[in-house]
Amino acid sequence: MILAILRRARLFFVLVMICSASIVVARGGLNSFSRLRGADPRLRVEMTSTGEVACFGTTMEQALLLSLKAVGFQPPRRNVLLTIGKLEDKVDMLPAIEALHRMGFSLFATHRTHEFLSSRDFPSGRLYKVSEPRSPNIKEYLENKRIDLVINIPQHTSSAEKTDGYFIRRLATDRGIALITNVQLAKRIIEALEMEKQSKEEQPLMAWPELLLQQR
């Protein structure tokens, strides 16, 4: 049985295939937004990867995390920035945000996201937007690489305007900070990070599955 799950993000376009009951393959596509000056680092319907890496795991979460690391994803160490536009996306992300808090990450957020988290008793530090000339500001935090992971879920699927969200995504890209712009992918990555943290086993190096060799 083969199950395909498509995900979109800045660094990768993930295709997960369940080849057997015990082997999962995740393919990550590397995109070149860091070389495209001024481009908005968000994937839409077109495929724009310039390279791909396939990784094996015993679970979907394990294979996903291996594929992300293979295309340059750096797991967060301490600080995570949350900027989530729509209310329904904020609600959808709540279990994942709770998982980040449970794992001990320090959360930072823009005004409305910060208020939403506070109303749910999640501690977070408020950062002012790039367009707001006040401190502490997102720009200074990103330029000084005080943020390890940016989860920026735009309110609009497409926009020609250079919004605060655009400048956040661009700053993260230019400073080499991990960026996620898709709710479903953000949830899966956080699940994978929590599973990795809970497991004491190192991620294995797996041989090419005999199942695939037999199909040649």
Q: Give me 84's structure tokens.
A: 């989530």
Write out the chain's pLDDT in tens, 216 residues: 223 333 333 333 344 444 444 677 777 666 655 555 655 556 554 555 566 777 778 788 888 888 888 878 889 999 999 999 999 999 999 999 999 999 999 999 999 999 999 999 999 999 999 999 899 999 999 999 999 999 999 886 555 557 888 899 899 988 989 999 889 989 999 999 999 888 765 655 656 555 455 445
Pairing of strands 79-84, 13-18: unpaired
Q: Residue 4's Cα: distance from chain center in Å?
A: 19
Which 3 state secondary structure label does DSSP give 26?
strand
Q: Which domains does the chain have, with CATH numbers?
A: 5-204 (3.40.50.1380)
DSSP H helical segments within 21-134, as ranges?
A: 60-70, 87-102, 111-119
Question: How many Cβ atoms sit within 10 Å of the Cβ of residue 28?
Answer: 27
- On the CB side of 81, how many CA atoms lie within 13 Å of its CA? 32
